[in-house]
Amino acid sequence: MSHRRLARAERWNPPGRLLSIGYSTGQLLIAARDRGYEPYEVEMDSGTADYARNKYRLDARTGTLPDTGFPPESFELITLIESLEYLPNPEEKMTLVAGLLRPDGVAMVIVPNGGSSPARKNISTWEHFQPGEHISLFDSDSLKELGRRCGLELIDVDTELSSGVGYVGALMAFFRRADFDIPGRPKLISVRADGARGDTLMATAVLRGLRKRFPDALLRVQTNFPRLLEGLDKVEPVSANVPAGGTCQVRASYEIDPAGHAVDVMMRYCRAGPSDRHIYYMVRPEENKRARELLERMGVKSPAVGIHPLSGSRIKRWRKENWAILGEMLRDRGFDLVLLGGEEDTTRISEGFDLRGRLSERESIAVLAGLDVFVGLDSFLAHAAGAVRTPRVLLFGSTDPERILCDLDTCPTKVFRGVCPYLGCRQDCLPDQWLRNVGCRRGEPVCLEAISPEEISAAVTDLADANEQQNKD
């Protein structure tokens, strides 16, 4: 558990000086010492502090934070685990924490999740509602507001499946100083781009912003999909499990702010400058050539439409029957159909050129660049179509296109979004279990059923006609 928590904190900083505030007998500090930290602990209970000092030879100090004598800006990481909920004035403690953090330091806070389903259902029966002991209760919004009042910026929040003594669903939150900025003129900036393929493509906007701010810096990007970033100037993509190195680390993530556009949020939290909401991607000349040769060899003729029927999440999918009907309609209108995506997609669209499971991510994007129109769901290829300026027709259900789509000013795009008839579905990147909770009983999002194949077919035809006319002009 301790190693997992510290590994999460190391998304922002490598091991350095660590201060643990009031967390029992030092197990976290033992793990921290093993990982290369210089650990310290502050503990109100003298017996607990003595135990940590004598048994584990840890620097455990008794008293309050002001009693310890630590100078300002002393620590790369400060942890408050199962601590804030006991304090009548958590704002005072968090303000002190902000003063002890280095300019690029991070604070880790773990508390019972007051926004969890059991707490919302009946607070009086919730196991962590303990009047007289748990004085302050938090959800993610109140943690964010607490940090703001104390000069801290919430940069990540998630739930732990288990933490401490039965804290099932506890909140794990990370803060940094609100005045954080990338200092000086670094030679190496490490960027962590978490998430799926589409998230990696959106994170390229951050890379472009950082390149503009720091033209002499090498950007080393940790990602699950390093091949997507190949060919970008002064960008070194590495696997997500490769140590980042360098002294400046930022994380391109947008989940922390559900209100803003994903790229704007990532740009702001990475201090990458103003956002233009454009994906930064490079199709190599040899990739373009191979894609053209492949389409010619298969006999694909214009107008050709790329179809990606599958999304990685069930809440984003259209019924297979609808895709089959759409395929027939497009074929009747004279389109050649090119099926893209993974081999796990079993959608039946007859008489199409089937490339599912045969192409890498980069090859798929190169093929996409050679087509007249793309039609698909909220997926990696929807973002890729915008990056290579292929006109696109997109179907959205529970996710918000206004929050995640890029390149809208440079790529002709028509978006269809279904409306959920069930009370409780907020249509904002809901987890899969909501399909069981709000009435989508068949494992399919009801909101997408309101979108008909007829209107998608008409939109594809309109975009193809407009693209043909533009090419003639």
pLDDT attached to residue 440? 56
pLDDT attached to residue 428? 44
| Residue 373 exposure: Cα atoms within 13 Å on the Cβ side | 28
Residue 436 pLDDT level (bands cut at 50, 70, 90): very low
Q: Could you tell me which residues are beta bridge partners of residue 107?
A: 78, 175
Query: What is residue 412's three-state secondary structure?
Result: coil
Residue 40 and residue 140 in one domain? yes
DSSP 3-state helix, strand, coil percentages of the chain (rounded to 5)? 35, 20, 45
Judged against a pLDDT cut of 90, whether residue 235 lies above it is answered with yes
Q: Are 379 and 307 in contact (CB under 8 A)?
A: no
CA distance 197 to 340: 15
Residue 318 and residue 370 in one domain? yes
Residue 17 and residue 158 in one domain? yes
- pLDDT tens, 334-367? 999 999 998 888 888 878 899 999 999 999 999 9
What is the residue range of 224's domain? Answer: 188-269
Residue 92 and residue 173 in one domain? yes
Rounded to the nearest angstrom, the gap between the alpha carbon of residue 231 and the centroid of all alpha carbons in its chain is 23
For the chain, give the mean pLDDT.
86
Q: Name the strands in the sheet holding 235-239, side by side, starting at the edge strand that comes first in the sequence.
A: 235-239, 218-223, 188-193, 248-252
Residue 296 and residue 415 in one domain? yes
Residue 89 and residue 156 in one domain? yes
pLDDT attached to residue 40? 92
Has residue 344 been placed in a domain?
A: yes
pLDDT attached to residue 165? 42
Residue 461 and residue 367 in one domain? yes
Judged against a pLDDT cut of 60, whether residue 10 lies above it is answered with yes
pLDDT attached to residue 431? 43
Judged against a pLDDT cut of 80, whether residue 232 lies above it is answered with yes
Has residue 280 been placed in a domain?
A: no
* Most confident stretch, 47-61, 267-281, 430-444: 267-281
pLDDT attached to residue 444? 61
CA distance 295 to 353: 9
- pLDDT tens, 439-464? 555 556 677 888 999 999 999 999 99
Residue 473 pLDDT level (bands cut at 50, 70, 90): low
Question: In one letter, which amino acid is 77?
Answer: L
CA distance 296 to 425: 45
Domain CATH for 73 = 3.40.50.150
The residue from 177, 199, 228 where one domain ends is 177
Has residue 65 been placed in a domain?
A: yes
CA distance 194 to 455: 35
Residue 112 and residue 44 in one domain? yes
Residue 227 and residue 352 in one domain? no
Residue 76 and residue 138 in one domain? yes
The dihedrals phi and psi of 222, each to the nearest 5 degrees, come to: -90, 125
pLDDT attached to residue 161? 52
Say if strands 304-308 and 75-81 run parallel, antiparallel, or are unpaired.
unpaired
Say if strands 75-81 and 101-111 run parallel, antiparallel, or are unpaired.
parallel
Positive or negative, the Cα torsion across 204, 207, 212, 213?
Answer: positive
- pLDDT tens, 401-415? 998 999 999 999 999
Structural domain count, the chain = 3
Domain CATH for 393 = 3.40.50.2000
Query: What is residue 17's three-state secondary structure?
Result: strand
Q: How many CB atoms lie within 10 A of CB 220?
A: 20
Which one has a higher pLDDT value, 126 or 309? 309
**In angstroms, how far is the first alpha carbon of the chain from the final one?**
63
Has residue 311 been placed in a domain?
A: yes
pLDDT attached to residue 24? 62
Residue 298 and residue 231 in one domain? no
Residue 16 and residue 94 in one domain? yes
pLDDT attached to residue 421? 60
Question: In one letter, which amino acid is 118?
Answer: P
Cis previous bond, 303, omega within 30: yes
Judged against a pLDDT cut of 90, whether residue 151 lies above it is answered with yes
Judged against a pLDDT cut of 60, whether residue 427 lies above it is answered with no
Q: Are 384 and 200 in contact (CB under 8 A)?
A: no
Q: Provide CB contacts within 8 A for 103, sequence distance 6+.
A: 73, 177, 179, 180, 181, 183
Residue 200 pLDDT level (bands cut at 50, 70, 90): very high
The residue from 236, 269, 302 where one domain ends is 269
Judged against a pLDDT cut of 60, whether residue 166 lies above it is answered with no
CA distance 90 to 432: 34
pLDDT attached to residue 369? 96
pLDDT attached to residue 247? 63
Has residue 279 been placed in a domain?
A: no
Q: Please state which of the ranges 116-125, 308-317, 424-433, 441-450 shows the lowest mean pLDDT.
A: 424-433
CA distance 148 to 154: 8
Q: Are 245 and 238 in contact (CB under 8 A)?
A: no
- pLDDT tens, 303-316? 999 999 987 777 77
Model's pTM, two decimal places? 0.82
Extended beta strands in 120-202, E state: 152-160, 170-177, 188-193
Q: Please state which of the ranges 23-27, 234-238, 370-374 shows the lowest mean pLDDT.
A: 23-27
- pLDDT tens, 260-283? 899 999 999 899 988 889 999 989
Query: What is residue 48's three-state secondary structure?
Result: helix
The residue from 219, 237, 269 where one domain ends is 269
- pLDDT tens, 293-305? 999 999 999 999 9
